Amino acid sequence: MRYLFFVLCLAFAAFGSATAQQVDKAAVKARINRAAMEMKSMECDFVQTKHLKLLSDKMVSKGRMYYQQKNRLRWEYTAPHKYVFILNDTKVRIHNGERNDVIDTNQNKVFKEIARVMMNSVVGKCLNDEREYKVEINANTSEWIAALTPLRKNMKQMFTSIVLHFDRQRALVTKVELTEKNNDRTIIELKNVKTNHAISPNLFDIR
Amino acid sequence: MRFLRTCLISVSLLLNALLTPADAQSLLPQSVGEKARFTAVIEMPKGYMSGICVLLCDGDLIKGSMFNDFGITFMDFTFNQRKDKVKLLSVQKMMDKWYIRKILRRDLRLLFHAMREGKGEYRDEKYKMLFRFTQLTEDELNIKDDDAS
């Protein structure tokens, strides 16, 4: 019996170390920052799944994302309906088929926060701002998993946590999990990621 | 003669059925567990919010959630059809003011009345707000399940 207990303890210890490895937080951050610096542009498909706690339901959206250093992001939903969000420095353009609006993020706090979260998450910049988030990093064999807890009031009002999954080989974000105060979760998976390809500047056109 | 009379009555019933306008179909989910999904727009004098709204029928209660395209929730609510009452369960911090809640409760209730009659739009003339819900079709929602996590 004592032997069985010992074997089980060993098995659990081995399982634990395989699923959540200790990581050198500073080294992981440095590696991710280097990858973010080297990444002049990025484009990918994304699948977004919103889990609705109240309705025990989920809603799936799909689209394509383009990023260009330093402050350009095009987040384009193609299904279930068309919606384009373009961030170009401090300006945001939203096009939803019926309307085409340009917003200055300096004058609209909500859009400023959304734009910041989306861009800093996909690039992995979120990890750097220690005044903004408490960051914990874990790892498994293929991923680094960064759990961010917002510290600032504006962010705390929207999210209870942001979890970023990084591909260890490329140090690129592959998945973002946003958890809201009402326990709804939004999972954004980035697929077919291409970096440092030429992207037409027209895609970030605000006019 | 009897045959002719039967034929005339049949034709008259058929014409009656064809020419009488059918009751507008409710946009609200009707049976327990049924869901309906909409693109949702709320226009206000100083801006607008757009996103998706999901409604679920839970007996007398319609449960609903409205969120923007990025998935960030604007509000969770219930509409008690028997009591004709909207309850806001959570509202995004920016809009979480008693006077905004009051307008939202009233306007959502009136929007649901319109939706029961097949109309996905309600205009609040007093506060110059427009609520427009457009039902998403099966084709639009046909995103492969293996894509979702």
Q: Is B39 helix (H, G, I), strand (E, B) or coil?
A: strand
**Amino acid A116: pLDDT:** 77
Structural domain includes residue A167: yes
pLDDT for A32-55, tens place per residue?
888 888 899 999 999 999 999 999
Q: Do B65 and A81 touch (CB under 8 A)?
A: no
Of A57, A62, A118, the CB nearest to B70: A118
- Mean of pLDDT values over B72-80: 96
Helix (H) or strand (E) holding A72: strand A72-79
Q: Name the DSSP letter for residue A54.
A: T
Q: Do A114 and B70 touch (CB under 8 A)?
A: yes
Concatenating the DSSP letter of every residue in B74-116 gives EEEEEEETTTTEEEEEEE-GGG--HHHHHHHHHHHHHHHHHHH
β-strand partners of B146: none
Residue B2 has pLDDT above 70, yes or no: no
Q: What is the Cα–Cα distance from B66 to B69, expressed in whole angstroms?
A: 10
**Amino acid B87: pLDDT:** 98
**Amino acid A17: pLDDT:** 45
**Amino acid A145: pLDDT:** 95
Tokens 């019996």 -> residue: A1
Token output for A95: 């096009």
**Amino acid B17: pLDDT:** 46
Contacts with A75 from chain B: Cβ below 8 Å: 70
- Identify the closest residue of chain A to B90 by CA–CA distance: A182
Mean pLDDT of chain A: 85
**Amino acid B77: pLDDT:** 98
Structural domain includes residue A7: no
**Amino acid A14: pLDDT:** 47
Structural domain includes residue A5: no
- Please, are residues B121 and B133 in contact by the beta-carbon 8 Å criterion? yes
Token output for A113: 């926060």
Residue A48, φ and ψ in degrees, nearest 5: -115, 125
- Please, are residues B133 and B38 in contact by the beta-carbon 8 Å criterion? yes
Q: Do B72 and A186 touch (CB under 8 A)?
A: yes
Tokens 């998976």 -> residue: A189
Residue B147: partners with Cβ closer than 8 Å, 6 or more residues away: A47, A60, A62
Tokens 């280097």 -> residue: A34
Residue A112, φ and ψ in degrees, nearest 5: -60, -45
Per-residue b or e along A114-131, where b marks 16 or more CB atoms closer than 10 Å to that residue's CB: bbbbbbbbbbbebbeeee
Return the number of CB contacts < 8 Å for A and B.
93
Of A52, A181, A188, the CB nearest to B65: A52
Among the listed residues B31, B37, B40, B39, the one whose alpha carbon sits nearest the alpha carbon of residue B104: B40
Q: Do B70 and A182 touch (CB under 8 A)?
A: no
Residue B21 has pLDDT above 50, yes or no: no
pLDDT for A88-141, tens place per residue?
988 999 998 778 889 888 777 777 777 778 778 777 777 877 888 999 999 999
- Mean of pLDDT values over B106-126: 96
- Mean of pLDDT values over A84-91: 91
Residue A15 has pLDDT above 60, yes or no: no
Express as a percent the part of chain A with pLDDT over 70: 89
Express as a percent the part of chain A with pLDDT over 90: 53
Structural domain includes residue A12: no
- Mean of pLDDT values over B91-104: 92
Q: How far is CA A163 from CA A35, A148, A154, B4, B51, in A?
A: 18, 6, 18, 77, 23
Q: What is the Cα–Cα distance from A41 to A71, expressed in whole angstroms?
A: 11
Residue B26 has pLDDT above 60, yes or no: yes
- Mean of pLDDT values over B6-11: 58
Q: Beta strands A57-68 and A72-79: pairing type?
A: antiparallel
> Which range among A4-18, A101-115, B115-129 has the greatest average pLDDT?
B115-129
Whether omega before A191 lies within 30 degrees of 0, making that bond cis, reads: no
Q: Where does residue A57 rank: exposed (0-12), middle (13-18), buried (19+ CB within 10 A)?
A: middle
Token output for A149: 């807890």
Structural domain includes residue A62: yes
Task: Give me the domain span that covers residue A93.
Answer: 19-204
- Candidate from A111-120, A148-157, A160-169, A185-194 with smallest mean pLDDT: A111-120
Count of domains in chain A?
1
pLDDT interval class at B81 (50, 70, 90): very high
Q: What ipTM, to 2 d.p.? A: 0.81
Q: Beta strands B73-80 and B85-91: pairing type?
A: antiparallel
Structural domain includes residue A172: yes
Which one is predicted more confidently, B114 or B149? B114
Residue B148 has pLDDT above 90, yes or no: no
Return the CATH number at A171.
2.50.20.10
Residue A151 has pLDDT above 60, yes or no: yes
